Amino acid sequence: MAAADELAFHEFEEATNLLAETPNVTTVSRSDQRPPEGHVAVAVDPGGSYGAEDEVESDKTALLQEQQQQPGFWTFSYYQSFFDVDTSQVLDRIKGSLLPRPGHSFVRHHLRNRPDLYGPFWICATLAFVLAITGNLTVVLAQRTDPSIHYSPQFHKVTVAGITIYCYAWLVPLALWAFLQWRKGVRERMGPYTFLETVCFYGYSLFIFIPTVVLWLIPVPWLQWLFGALALALSAAGLVFTLWPIVREDTRLVASVLLSAVVLLHALLAMGCKFYFFQPLPLEHMAPTHQNTPPHPHGVLTPTPPRPTTA
């Protein structure tokens, strides 16, 4: 401790002698060089640029780039955004598909550049199960009115309905989107919808068939066809009103053929479901009826004697 005091006193004595030799020199305390609290010292290079600010800006730029990077299509996060919708949005889009209006595009007024796959996925799944269930219930109800009908569960209808509905809801929009992309190269003024938007409004257009299939349980043929025609008209009208702002930029012939093909495919889907899942009962489901043999006119049947065998 004494050695440290002697060393400090020795340094102080040297500093006093130095000040005495150079009285005009200016002294600066180390405490004056410290920046005030709450401030950051910034080093300035000879060119006048602020090094610390450049580092902060580069860090912010790198952070924004990391946030803007989209995940790959093979990851779960990529598809999670397509299911990020709430109940009010789904109900609004279902309502828009049930009440189409001329000049009212489903994509412009309801999707608003935010297509989803949640609604189309569950609409297709519900329609497939409802088709299979009502197809079996038709036979059950017919058995109650006619005891001669033999009913056996047809579980294969679930598979047939699922494959049919999902293939239609994905392959037809894919073909339509590819055709519009090709026509975009021919007609520069055309601006087609994206593939997800096409799948989205096609999926929502199938919702009206869910209550229609339930109403097909009413065993009145003309009433079933009436419900089917109304559902087909509303669903096809929604597709035509949505596609018209796009195809009207093309030639009249191409626009007419394209819209006719869309309506025809929609009609084939509805009629195919009607004939397959609500078809008349085949003969193998009918119990065999016992035929009454008429009595012999003489009342007693005499056995026929066997013929003699010749050696």
Exposure string of 232-249, with b = 16+ CB inside 10 Å and e = fewer, is bebbbbbbbbbbeebbee
The residues near 155 (Cβ < 8 Å, ≥ 6 apart) are 132
Cβ contact 131:213 at 8 Å: yes
Give dist(CA 149, CA 144) in Å, integer.
9
Token readout for 52 is 């610390």
Higher pLDDT, 55 or 151: 151
Give residue 214's domain range. 81-281
Percentage of the chain exceeding pLDDT 70 = 62
Residue 153 lies in a domain: yes
| Cβ(288)–Cβ(148) below 8 Å | no
pLDDT digits (tens, 9 = 90+) for 266-276: 999 999 999 99
Per-residue model confidence (pLDDT) at position 163: 96
Angle at 149 between CA 148 and CA 154, to 5 degrees: 160
Residue 291 domain-assigned? Answer: no
Residue 297, in any domain of the structure: no
128 occurs within a structural domain: yes
Token pair belonging to 171: 């392959």
pLDDT at 9: 47
Question: Rg (Cα) of the chain, in Å, rounded?
Answer: 41
Give a yes or no: residue 219 inside a domain: yes
pLDDT in tens, 142-197: 777 777 777 777 888 899 999 999 999 999 999 999 998 888 876 666 667 889 99
Task: State the total domains in the chain.
Answer: 1
DSSP state string for 45-62: -TT--BHHHHHHHHHHHH
Find the mean pLDDT for residues 251-266: 93
The dihedral through the CA atoms of 71, 74, 78, 80 has a sign that is negative
Report how far residue 166's alpha carbon sits from residue 129's, in angstroms, rounded to the nearest whole number: 12
The pTM of the full predicted model, rounded to 2 decimals, is: 0.66
Q: Is a pLDDT exceeding 90 seen at residue 27?
A: no
Residue 114 lies in a domain: yes
Residue 243 forms part of a structural domain: yes
Question: What tens digit of pLDDT does each residue of 93-138 get?
Answer: 999 999 888 888 888 888 877 888 899 999 999 999 999 999 888 8
Most confident listed range (155-159, 195-199, 246-250, 260-264) = 260-264
In a domain, 48, yes or no: no
pLDDT of residue 250: 83
User: In sequence order, which residues have a C-beta less than 8 Å from that of residue 107 and are 6 or more positions away?
Assistant: 115, 193, 197, 200, 201, 242
